[in-house]
Structure 1
Amino acid sequence: MRDPKNARSGRLRTRGRGVSAPGVSENGRDGGYNAGIAVFSYIIGGIIVWSLIGWGLDNLWGTRWIVLAGALLGALGGFYLSHMHGLTSSREKAGDHRAASGPSKDGNTNAK
């Protein structure tokens, strides 16, 4: 028989604790695909929202450049939010393994 305490979802178990950013697991490691989707949505969402604000101001004031400034501001704001939530940090968080750059240290192991 299942224990009802363990049958609850992870969302219920995190009550009372600080909620991490979208795409980041409870232990602070990056979420890989989920973190990428969160960064993408922050940036695209920022572009859409601030472009619409700029479009409205352009129509109100009779200008044509505020929509572009709004899109740029939205992209920068989305990247800033994702950076502040820890979604754009280095890959060292996910296991302290970095991709090897350059030849391997043990010789020509990949040579045929």
Structure 2
Amino acid sequence: MSDRKRPANNGSAASGNASSAPGVSPDNNDGGYNAGMAVFSYIIGGIIVWSLIGWGLDNLWGTRWIVLAGALLGALGGFYLSHMHGLTSSRNTSGKRGVDSGPSADGNTNAK
């Protein structure tokens, strides 16, 4: 039984957008939740990986502070990656104008 919500993949690796970030569909409709989970996983993954590297270096060199530096470096790196993939930008995909985006289209601001 096929899932109607997902498009069929014909087994071709070229059918997806290779430059698309995790959580963002090729038509740039991220849905918010998927992009948030991708940002969360980048940051948590960076903290875990770089903390483990720091822990290993701490054991190797007999120090105790490199694991904290690794955790900070991992958090910053995860945020940097999510920012570079465009997951942290706040963009309005609905096409509607926001309240604070300027005067109304007809120029009447109802100011007295």
What TM-score comes out, normalization by structure 2 length?
Answer: 0.71
The correspondence of residues 25-44 of structure 1 with structure 2, limited to 5 A, is 25-44=25-44
Counterpart residue number, 1:67: 67
Contact 1:91 1:97 in 2 (8 A): no
Runs of 4+ in 1 over 6 A off after TM superposition: none
| CA deviation profile, 1:54-74 (whole Å, cap 9, x unmatched) | 000001000011000000000
Distance 1:17 1:11, change over 3 A: farther
Unaligned runs of 5+ in 2: 1-6
CA RMSD, Structure 1 to Structure 2 (Å): 2.8
Alignment coverage as a number of residue pairs: 97
What TM-score comes out, normalization by structure 1 length?
Answer: 0.71
Q: Measure how far apart 1:16 and its partner are.
A: 6.7
User: What amino acid maps onto 1:9 in structure 2?
Assistant: N
Identity of aligned residues (%): 71
Contact 2:17 2:26 in 1 (8 A): no
Counterpart residue number, 1:9: 9
Of 11-20 and 83-92, deviating more is 11-20
Counterpart residue number, 2:94: 95
Unaligned runs of 5+ in 1: 1-6, 108-112
